[in-house]
A and B are shown apart, each in its own frame.
Chain A
Amino acid sequence: MFAFRKKKNLIYIALAVVLFLAANLTPVVRTPVLNIFRFPLVLFSALGREVGGIIFYHRNMKENARLKSEMDFLQQKVVALNEIYLENIRLKDLLAFKEKSSYRIVAAARVIGRSADNWSSVIIIDKGAKHGICRGMVAMTYLGLAGRVIETTSFTSKVMLINDPNLGVSAIIQRSRQEGLVSGTFGNSLILRYLSNDADVKTSDTVITSGLTDVYPKGILIGKVVEVGEEFSGLGRYCVIRPAVNTSNIEEVLIVMP
């Protein structure tokens, strides 16, 4: 029988207590012990999970399906929120431009459609005559000139974009004040024509509306010169311009009085 009174037994108990305390309180002892026990612990917990997974297979499957559908829903929400965030940034820029600019802004409109054929570059906006828009008004974004209103109905308008060859804009090079006529190519570039042979034009020059006619207000940014060339006839020079406004992805425009 175990007797507490025996000296030998008391020493064993004392040693066990000291070891237990040392193992629990001293990291020097605890860390290697934990490290040693890590492998069987990982193994057994993994086994336990697997066994649990098999036992609760049906419940887990249902939960998995529910979580997947929840994830799909949340992903859609993230995409929608991202879209709203981007729209918010665009509208903030537009609003800041509207507050700062000196142009007489009639309305801000959203693009709801694009031209159906290849032979015109047109957008359809969601504001019309009821909102004060008339034929001949100028469409722009906070980046620069976008086009001109060519047709209005009560609640929609058609805007011909600057990359349409049928739209001519009287323009000047901001640095040298050389005048020319900007027209579109249906692509992502514009052409400034009717420059004289000795015209002072360089690449990266800024092109703005000249204001020579009443059609466009003076000083609206059109784009930057990316290439200068000589006309085929040899009578003048032309410039290829990269428009400030990317006509292929306009989503909102401001309609301005000419």
Chain B
Amino acid sequence: MKRWFSLLVVFAAVLLQVMLIGHFKFFGAKPDLILIILVIMAGFYLFQLPWLLTLAFVSGILKDVFSGNAFGVNAVIFCCLAVLIIRVSRRISIEGGLRRAALIMAVVLLDAIGTRVFSMLLGNPVSWGIFLRIGFLSAIYTALLSLLIMRIPQLRP
């Protein structure tokens, strides 16, 4: 995949997330399309680390722009996740739809934990009940959506 195309895909994912995905909430949780795209870029396309960090930073900043949390939280978490995904994908095989979905589920859970840690540090954490409900539901929902998205031919590695 060309670099400019990967950037375009990230922008498209952000637009879809803001305009469309919000309508498909399930018990308050919605899938994270931006995170799916990041995992696909990091885990399957094996971009060089500097470009991947740029992609993660851009998508994180865009997510921050369209959310109500403290600005920059997602940018930091996404960069950390990108590095983590690259390391994981070099050590274990992530071939096959279910393995990829499992990886995406784990990444969404880590993202939720990261956000929770940041919100605790900033003094406004959500309650444990809400955190567990949204965290697990969004992880499962995102993993299921990723199985569909990875069928798009243009996104296949």
Interface residues of A (CB under 8 A from B): 112-122, 124, 150, 158, 160, 163-166, 185-188, 248-249
Contact = CB atoms under 8 A, between A and B. Distances in A.
A120 B66 CA distance: 10
Contacts, number: 79
A117 B115 contact: yes
A185 B28 contact: yes
29 contacts: A113-B66, A114-B19, A114-B23, A115-B18, A115-B22, A115-B68, A116-B17, A116-B18, A116-B34, A116-B62, A116-B66, A117-B32, A117-B67, A117-B74, A117-B115, A118-B138, A119-B69, A120-B68, A122-B67, A124-B66, A150-B68, A163-B28, A165-B130, A185-B130, A186-B126, A186-B130, A186-B134, A248-B25, A249-B23
Nearest to A165: B126
Shortest beta-carbon contacts, A-B, top 7: A120-B68, A114-B22, A186-B28, A116-B66, A187-B28, A122-B68, A113-B18
B74 A248 contact: no
Contact of B18 (A119, A124, A160, A163): A124
Contact of A118 (B19, B32, B127): B32
Interface in B108-122: 112, 115, 119
A150 B67 CA distance: 11
Interface string B104-145: 000000001001000100001011001001100010000000
Chain B at the A interface: SS class: helix
Interface of B: 14, 17-19, 22-23, 25, 27-30, 32, 34, 62-63, 65-69, 74, 112, 115, 119, 124, 126-127, 130, 133-134, 138
Chain A at the B interface: SS class: loop
Max chain A C-beta neighbours (<10 A), residue from B23, B68, B127: B68
Contacts of A186: 28-29, 126, 130, 133-134
B117 to A, nearest CB: 12
B119 A117 contact: no
A118 B30 contact: yes
A47 to B, nearest CB: 51
Nearest to B138: A118
A128 to B, nearest CB: 14
A119 B66 contact: no
A119 B63 contact: no
Contacts of A188: 28
Nearest to A164: B68
A163 B25 CA distance: 13
A103 to B, nearest CB: 24
A112 B66 CA distance: 11
Max chain A C-beta neighbours (<10 A), residue from B23, B30, B69, B126: B126
A186 B137 CA distance: 12
